[in-house]
Structure 1
Amino acid sequence: MHIDHTLSDIVARKHFFSVPLDYQQSPSKQITVFAREIVSIENQHKELPYLVFFQGGPGFGAVRPISNNGWIKRALTEYRVLLLDQRGTGLSTPVNASSLSYMSATDQADYLSFFRADNIIRDAEYIRAKLSPDQPWSILGQSFGGFCVLHYLSAAPEGLKEAYITGGIPSLTRPVDEVYQATYQRVIAKNNDFFKRFTDARLLVDNLAKYLYDNKVYLATGELLSVEMLQLLGINLGMEQGPESVYYLLEHALVETNHGVDINPLFLHQFSHFLDYSTNPLFALLHESIYCQHNASSWAAHRVRSQFEQFNYRPGKPLLFTGEMVYPWMFAQFEQLEPLQQAANLIAAKKDWPALYDLEKLSNNKVPVAAAIYSEDMFVEMQYSLETAKQVNNLKYWLTSEYEHNGIRMDGEHILDKLISLNRGKCLR
């Protein structure tokens, strides 16, 4: 099914594809994968190559464009852009507590095992056979989208003309525990930066943590706001403009009333907009599995946290924010995760995840790859990214301290232009 519509300076077409849930089984249950194809108005009648965008996550739908700006503006000068809602996200047979409610926990876990990068790339190749059967296409991956790019290079490089990665080069071989040991160190550094920048933030945070410890506080969604949930705000410290947003939220968390200090209803309303766990449950369900190859995650972030006692709050002790970590207690505290608690435990215990990367293929890679590595990235350890860059033939990278993890959202036109120049042997500007 194709549906056309127009945006500001963009012509868009909606594509819906029926694809196998399990490509290894025939016949297989079918699911829907959605992709939005966009092209600039001036290029709408031209035969342009495709650039496929793989969103970060896992568990988030592709960007919904409003106008021709940012990285999309640069891309549309020479491509048709395909914004892929990865399976389970956006309009692609969404995963949520309601959609899974008819399944047992075991069936839920089995079903969700088909929503990693390997099947996302199988979907991409299925779609390429429909839209670009005679030519390989170009791809761009942000964050987890970069993990998808490296799997694409491992599994189906014949489908690719060129590849771009921003803030998303994972280790190819390191176990998940090592990933989190490095990430916790990054999060500590971001906490230090935050409390140094905003001199009254320490008092604001510790007063709020003490208040939550002593009182039962409920969000506008009805969920209990625990100290541990408050710490999850730290995921925003690794984003451009994230620390500022967190600080301004904390500024009005507590208010003076005739009855003493109380929680601000405005804070309770705004808090939930800073976290995506209930609205995007696939992220919490599968986040740790993106690092797993023939091994179980066994709630790695939770286990590794025990090595960093400074994250365990108690009254009189400074509170530290956590980062991009998923914990088992979240499936008891977030309303939309609670029905999926058993499935989450089964996924965390799953040991037979297939390998995601073919080291031999990557070492002999012929597809031109250009990557932006952000030295201050809180989400992806720079040293592991550089380690992987050495293992992938034909990969060139641009190492910069100018951007946080979401650099492509903030200065995408400039970043994509640099990567295209890098891939094509031009001098970086």
Structure 2
Amino acid sequence: MKPDIILADVLAKKHTFTLPLNYQHPIAEQIQIFARELCSLENKDKKLPYLVFFQGGPGFAAMRPASNSGWIRRALKEYRVLLLDQRGTGLSTPINHLSLKHLDPVAQADYLSHFRADNIVRDAEAIRAQLCPADKWAILGQSFGGFCVLHYLSAAPQGISEAYITGGIPSLTRSADDVYLATYQRVLAKNKQFFQRFHDAQHLATRLAKHLCEHEVYLATGEQLTVEMLQLLGINIGMEQGPESVYYLLEQALIDTASGVEVNPLFLNHFGQLLDYNTNPIFAMLHEAIYCQHSASQWAAHRVRKNFPAFNYQVGKALLFTGEMIYPWMFDQFSHLMPLKAAAEILAHKADWPALYNLEQLAKNRVPVAAAIYSEDMFVEMQYSLETAQQVGRLKYWLTSEYEHNGIRMDGERILDKLISLNRGQSLR
């Protein structure tokens, strides 16, 4: 296959694989899975093992690299890197309101039920059988990608030589309710840090929220901007450089005009760039399902929020941002989620999700696993990660307060180098 891109000193190749939608019926409907293979030019003629990257999400495509930098730079010293667009994302038979509009809600929900970690791993093993059937490969999972790694170790450890996880060790047994009871508290802590750091941010946020309660304001995409939507910006305050992005956006939110105070058009355009619900519907449709094993989520984040009334804004009160939570009202307010509302309801009440983790297999795991656990992570409860670490054989972890959830994006070369050293019994530098 000819290369399609040469970046700096990196050779990139495109791969497309035709695979079953439902592996229980492999000759029925097929989907396309896309992966981009990277190799350094100096290693292009060498037979190197693969390192497969599982992106965070669910519902986000693999990164589109622009240079040989970050964790990729470290990986390419000894691997060929395979950036997998998980099913339904990127160039892998993408899912959106248009691609699903020919199906009724029941059929939409049934179709989407095949897009969790179990089938993402089945895709990976099918791809391995085509690319390097005689060889094992290494895997790296960021955030939700860590869920995929642990399922891979449960279901097909024979295909893995070594595994790495960054910011994504889930509980193996806890419910979505347990997850949100813990993460809402982490979101409260991040709010406190944010408003202490930016001393006028609370004034800016509550002034904007009050304006939205008193005026109809519409985003550039045509949706009415509500206070609930505004609170969703909080998903960014748990990321490296995210608090700055939110603060600078709030600074420019309201402007004085001859007609009075108005919401800045610049704010209305940039607001959507910090949220992905319209463009990545799998994230909203299946986010709670990633925690479900033989149970239904029943809108867990929405129900658990009742235990944290501080998030319920009222005029005259302080505004708090929410985090990585999905709410049923989002399917009434985001234009590209509205056509999927009925399917989302079905998925929220689906109780027959299969188990994702084989506790017995994980306990006797022999694949070397190294994980970075971020103690200040807003998205993944540290205590649950440590709990899981004790349940997985040969899992070593590096616990650090240096990074937020997206640390691998900010300092990936150092993080991956530390994990490789940890997996191979070398001292951390």
- Which residue in 2 is equivalent to 1:85? 85
The answer as to 2:360 corresponding to 1:360 is yes
1:159 is matched with 159
| Alpha-carbon distance in structure 2 between the residues aligned to 1:289 and 1:322 | 19
- In the TM superposition, what are the counterparts of 1:250-329 in structure 2 within 5 Å? 250-329=250-329
Distance in structure 2 (CA, Å) of the matches to 1:3 and 1:252: 44
TM-score by length of structure 2 reads 0.99
- Measured after TM superposition, the shift of residue 205 of structure 1 is 0.4
Q: Which amino acid aligns with 2:158?
A: E
Number of corresponding residues: 429
| Residues 223, 333 of structure 2: 8 Å contact kept | yes
Deviations 1:62-106 (A, max 9, x none): 000111000000000000000000000000000000000000000
Q: Distance in 2 between matches of 1:28 and 1:366?
A: 35
Q: SS of the residue aligned with 2:276?
A: coil
> What displacement does 1:34 show?
0.3
8 Å CA contact retained: 2:212, 2:226: yes
CA apart distance, 1:301: 0.3
Q: What is the rounded CA distance, in whole Å, between the counterparts of 1:346 and 1:264 in structure 2?
A: 38
1:38 CA displacement: 0.4
1:146-190 residue CA offsets vs partner (Å, 9 max, x unmatched): 000000000000000000000000000011101000010000000
Name the structure 2 match of 1:47.
47
**Structure 1 residue 7: Cα displacement:** 1.7
Structure 2 counterpart of 1:211: 211
User: 1:26 Cα deviation (Å)?
Assistant: 4.0
Q: Deviations over 1:191-210 (max 9, x none)?
A: 00000000000100000000
State the match for 2:242 in structure 1: 242
Aligned-partner SS, 2:346: helix
For the Cα contact (< 8 Å) 2:373–2:397, is it kept in 1?
yes
1:217, CA displacement in angstroms?
0.3
CA contact (8 A) 1:223 1:334 kept: yes
Structure 1 position 289, deviation (Å):
0.2
Kindly indicate whether the alpha-carbon contact (under 8 Å) linking 1:3 and 1:15 is maintained by their aligned counterparts in 2.
Answer: no
User: What is residue 15 of structure 1 aligned with on the other side?
Assistant: 15
- The whole-number CA distance in structure 2 between the counterparts of 1:270 and 1:8 is 31
1:369 matched to which residue of 2?
369
Distance 1:4 1:220 in 2: 35
* Alpha-carbon offset, residue 259 of structure 1: 2.4
User: Secondary structure at the residue paired with 2:234?
Assistant: helix
Match of 1:345 in 2: 345
Question: 2 CA distance for matches of 1:334 and 1:3?
Answer: 39
Structure 2 counterpart SS, 1:163: strand
Task: Using the TM superposition, give the Cα deviation of residue 28 of structure 1 relative to its aligned residue in structure 2, in angstroms.
Answer: 1.9
Deviations 1:90-126 (A, max 9, x none): 0000000000000000000000000000000000000
Separation in structure 1 between the aligned mates of residue 331 and residue 237 of structure 2, nearest angstrom: 23
Residue 136 of structure 1, CA deviation = 0.7
Deviation at 1:238, TM superposition (A): 0.4
Q: Does the Cα contact within 8 Å between 2:3 and 2:11 map onto a contact in 1?
A: no
Which range is displaced more, 2-11 or 13-22? 2-11
**Structure 2 counterpart SS, 1:238:** coil
Q: Partners in 1 of 2:189 and 2:177 — Cα distance?
A: 19
Contact 2:96 2:280 in 1 (8 A): yes
Superposed displacement of residue 3, structure 1: 5.5
Tell me, yes or no, if the aligned pair for 1:2 and 1:15 is still in contact at 8 Å: no
Within 1, Cα distance between the matches of 2:259 and 2:296? Answer: 51
Unaligned runs of 5+ in 2: none
Tell me whether 1:385 sits opposite 2:390 in the alignment. no
2:221 matches 1:221: yes
Distance 1:346 1:3, change over 3 A: farther
Q: Could you tell me which residue of structure 2 aligns to residue 128 of structure 1?
A: 128
Secondary structure at 1:306's aligned position in 2? Answer: helix
Q: Residue 6 of structure 1: CA displacement? A: 1.4
Counterpart mapping for 1:97-116 below 5 A: 97-116=97-116
What displacement does 1:256 show? 1.4
Q: State the 1:2 CA deviation.
A: 6.7
Q: Which amino acid aligns with 2:199?
A: T
**Identity across the alignment (%):** 71
Question: What is aligned with 2:193?
Answer: 193
Distance of 2:67 and 2:96 partners within structure 1 = 29
Structure 2 Cα separation of the partners of residues 300 and 284 of structure 1: 13
Deviation track 1:265-287 (CA, whole Å, cap 9, x = no partner) reads 11111100000000101110000
CA–CA distance in structure 1, aligned partners of residues 11 and 3 of structure 2: 11
Relative to structure 1, is the Cα distance of residues 263 and 26 closer, same or farther in structure 2, using a 3 angstrom cutoff? closer
Which residue identity is paired with 2:261?
V
Measured in 2, the distance between the counterparts of 1:172 and 1:418 equals: 25
1:16-59 per-residue CA deviation (whole Å, 9 max, x = no partner) reads 00000011114221000000000011111110000000000000
Question: Is 1:59–1:89's contact at 8 Å kept on the other side of the alignment?
Answer: yes
Aligned alpha-carbon RMSD (Å): 0.8
Q: 1:125, 1:28 → 2: CA distance?
A: 19
Task: Give structure 1 regions of 4+ aligned residues with deviation exceeding 6 angstroms.
Answer: none
Where does structure 1 lack aligned partners over 5 or more consecutive residues?
Answer: none
SS where residue 4 of structure 2 aligns? strand
DSSP-derived class of the 1:64 partner: coil
Partner-residue secondary structure (3-state), 1:222 = coil
Distance 2:344 2:6 in 1: 40
Cα distance in 2 between the residues matched to 1:2 and 1:380: 40
Cα deviation, 1:313-356, whole Å, max 9, x if unaligned, reads 11011110000000000011001100000000000010000000
One-letter code aligned to 1:240: E
For the 8 Å contact 2:287–2:326, the answer to whether it is kept is yes
Q: Give, in whole Å, the separation in 1 of the partners of 2:8 and 2:18.
A: 29
Amino acid corresponding to residue 401 of structure 1 in structure 2: S
Other structure's SS at 1:213 match: helix
Partners of 1:167 and 1:395 in 2: CA distance:
14
Which SS does the other structure have where 2:237 is aligned? Answer: helix
Distance 1:137 1:307 in 2: 44
